[in-house]
């Protein structure tokens, strides 16, 4: 089993050429490459968005604490 011999890969390549044609294979490879590129770009953008959300979430409680401290000191006066 495993990865097979060279003849298995030659047969698989031959079947692919017969099914899609020699002219269409580069188009398929180009489409696959652009799909992978777009997927990686979307993952990167999602990670950046998640970092911004995390930073905003961490920043809010600090500002709320400052406001509550200020309002408490104003009530004492």
In order, the DSSP letters of 19-72 are: HH-TTHHHHHHHHHHHHHHHHHHHHHHHHHHHHHHHHHHHHHHHHHHHHHHHHH
> Does a structural domain hold residue 67?
no
Instruction: Give the model's pLDDT for residue 15.
Output: 92
pTM score of the predicted model: 0.48
Question: Which residue has 């930073």 as its token pair?
Answer: 55
Q: How far apart are CA 14 and CA 10, in angstroms?
A: 6
Does the residue 27 lie in any domain? yes
Block mean pLDDT (10 aa), the chain, length 77: 81 90 88 94 89 78 56 57
Domain membership of residue 27 as a residue range: 22-51
How many domains are there within the chain?
1
């Amino acid at each position: 089993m495993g990865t097979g011999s060279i003849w298995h890969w030659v047969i698989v390549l031959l079947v692919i050429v017969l099914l899609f044609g020699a002219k269409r294979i580069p188009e398929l490879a180009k489409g696959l490459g652009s799909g992978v590129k777009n997927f990686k770009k979307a993952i990167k953008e999602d990670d950046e968005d998640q970092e911004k959300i995390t930073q905003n979430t961490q920043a809010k409680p600090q500002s709320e604490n400052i406001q509550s401290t200020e309002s408490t000191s104003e009530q004492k006066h």
